[in-house]
Amino acid sequence: MDLPDDLRKTPPVHTWNPQRPSPMPSHRYRPAHERVAVPLADADRTWPSRRIERAPLWVPVDLRDGNQALSEPMDPVRKHKLFDLLVAMGYKEIEIGYPSASRADFDFVRRLATSGAVPDDVTTVVFTPARRELIERTFASVEGLPHTVVHLYTATAPVWRDVVLGRSRAEVHALIREAATDILRLAERRPDADIRFQFSPEVFNLTEPDFVLEICNGLTELWDASPDRPVIHNLPATVETATPNVYADQIEYLHRHLDRRDRVILSVHPHNDRGTGVACAELAVLAGAQRVEGCLFGNGERTGNVDLVTLALNLHTQGVDPMVDFSDIDAVREVVEHCNRLPVPVRHPYAGDLVHTAFSGTHQDAISKGFAEHARRAAEQGVSERELPWSVPYLPIDPADIGRSYEAVIRVNSQSGKGGIVYLLEQGYGIDLPRGMRPEFAKTVQRATDDSGREASAEELWELFRTTYLDTGTGGAVAVPWWETREVAPGEHESVCDIAVDGGPPARFKGAGNGPVAAFTAALAEAGIEVAVLSYFEHSTATGQGSPAVAYVECRIGPAVLWGAGQDTSVLTASVRAVLSAVNRAHQERR
C-alpha cells in the first residue's frame, strides 16, 4: 500500500519501534472523551478495587434482540425451544419479544401467556418504543402472564436526537414522560397483575450524564419505585465507543447519583462493537450494576450483544456460582445453533470445539503433567479428582465441569511434541512410553504429520506405534520362528533359538546370561548379530490376570542406538519381541 511521501518519511517515535503512520483516516474520528463527559472524580472511583462475589441477575434477550439480528428469524417452534432451554438452565428473567413489532412476536408472547409454559418463578420482559398505540398492543400481548416487566426505550444521545428523532432534549424527555405515563395508566387497570417497569435510555454511553439522571430520576418518581416493586434502569452501551473503564465510570456515576437507589435495579446492556463487551459488563458490575442483559454466545446486531455464556463461566472460574447451569455446554450450544442457524466458532471461549485443546508440544507437556499431578494429589488426600481444587496448566476450567471429556484436550499435529503423543497413547491404549524412547517416536509422528499436513488421531498414533515397533518384533530381516529360555541355575539362564536372516533357512543357536533377555541376546551374538541392551522397561496395559504386557528395550546395534517394543500376555515373549524389534529396525535403517 502506497503512503504519501510525508508519512513515509515520518521518523519512528522510538528506535525500538519501527512502525510508521498508516494511510487510514483515523483523524475523522473523535475519541470518546470528546463525545461525552464522565463527571466522576478519580477520588470517587471505587470499581477498580472491587471484586465480583455474586452473580448479577442475568436477563437473556435472545428471543428479542438476538432474534432481530438473524437473517432468518426464528419460527415459533425454534423460539419455544430456546425459551424452554433458558428456563431449564435457570434463568429467572427472560426477554421474550417485541410484540408490537411484528405479528410473529405478538403471537409468540400470546402463546406463552395462554399455554402455561412460563413457570411462576420466571418473569418475562416485553419491549416497546415510546408510542401510545405500540404500548397498548404490548399490554394486550402480556394478558395472562404471571410476572411481566414492560421495557420502555427511547434513544437519548445527541446524534440520535438530532439525526434520527429530530427533537431537542426537552422534547425527547417529554416524549419519554408521556409514554411512561401511558404504561403506568395501563398497568393500573390491571391491579391483580404483577407488572413492573423498565426504562432504557438507548445509546446511554453517548448521552450526557445529567440528561440520563434527569430522565431516570423522573421515571423512578413517576412509577413510584419501592423496595418490593423496584424500577429497572437499563443503561445500554448500544454502540461500543470507548474502552471498558469509561463505561465503568459512567455506570458508577449513575450508581452514585440515582435517586431512591435502594428502589432501583441498575442494569446494563453492553454491545460488542469494539470486541470488549464482556469486559464492559464485568467492570459495570464492579461499578454497581446488578443486572446484565445479553445473549447466549453473544448473538445480536452488528458484532453482537454481550455473551452470557462467557460472563457466567468467567465467574465460575473465580469460584463464584454463576446461578445458571452450563454443566452440559454442548447440549446448550446445540439448541442455540439450531434456533439461531448460526455456528458457534471453534475458538469461542469455553464452548468452542477447540478451546480446551492443545496442539503445541509445550502446552501438551504441561497439561499432561498437570493431569498427572492432579490425580496424584487427589489420591494422596483420599478424595475424588472432581472434588480437588482445580490447578492444571493452560486449562482455566476443568472441561468436565461443563460436560466435556478429556479426550479432545490433547491432539497431535506437526506442531506437537512428545508430551501429547505420550498422553494420547497412554489414555487410549495403556502405552506408557519410556522417557528415553519418546523423542525417537515423536520424530516418526512428526514425519507422518508433516507429510499429511493434518492432525493425527489417537488411533493413527497407535497404528504408527504398531507398525514402527510391534510389527518389526514379529517380522523382518531377522526372524526367530522358535525359541526357548530356561533357568539352569540360580541367576543363570539359557536360551536356545532358531534364527533365520534375510529369508534364509533357520539355524539353531544357544546363549547364556544372567537373565532371559541377556541369554537371548547371547544367542543372537552366536548368530553374528551383536546387540547390547542399554535399558529395559515393561508394564501391563490393563489390570487383571492375562492382560497384555508391553516391553521396551533400548539397544546398541553396531553404531546405531534404537528402541524396540513388543507386546504379549507373556512378559518374556514381549521382551524377546522388543529385542527383535530393535534388531529389525536397525536392519531397515542400514538399507
Which residues define the annotated binding site for Mg(2+)? 65, 269, 271, 305
How big is the chain by its Cα radius of gyration, in Å?
35
Annotated binding-site residue numbers: 65, 269, 271, 305
User: What whole-number distance in Å separates Cα of residue 384 and Cα of residue 101?
Assistant: 53
Residues 6+ apart with CB under 8 A from 334: none
| Beta strand extents in 144-263 (DSSP E only) | 147-155, 194-202, 231-237
User: What whole-number distance in Å separates Cα of residue 121 and Cα of residue 266?
Assistant: 21
User: What whole-number distance in Å separates Cα of residue 403 and Cα of residue 525?
Assistant: 56
Cα distances from 428 to residues 177, 425, 457, 587, in angstroms, run 67, 5, 10, 30
How many Cα atoms within 13 Å fall on the side-chain side of residue 114? 8
* Torsion sign, CA atoms 551, 554, 556, 561: positive
Neighbours of 458 (CB within 10 A): 19
Cα distances from 546 to residues 431, 551, 553, 569, 574, in angstroms, run 16, 15, 22, 6, 13
User: What whole-number distance in Å separates Cα of residue 202 and Cα of residue 184?
Assistant: 20
Is residue 270 within 8 A of residue 236, CB to CB? The reply is yes
Grid coordinates standing for 343? 455456528
User: What whole-number distance in Å separates Cα of residue 153 and Cα of residue 151?
Assistant: 7
Is residue 441 within 8 A of residue 433, CB to CB? The reply is yes
How many Cα atoms within 13 Å fall on the side-chain side of residue 267? 27
DSSP, res 130: S
User: Taking Cα atoms as reference points, which of 271, 294, 296 lies closest to residue 82?
Assistant: 296
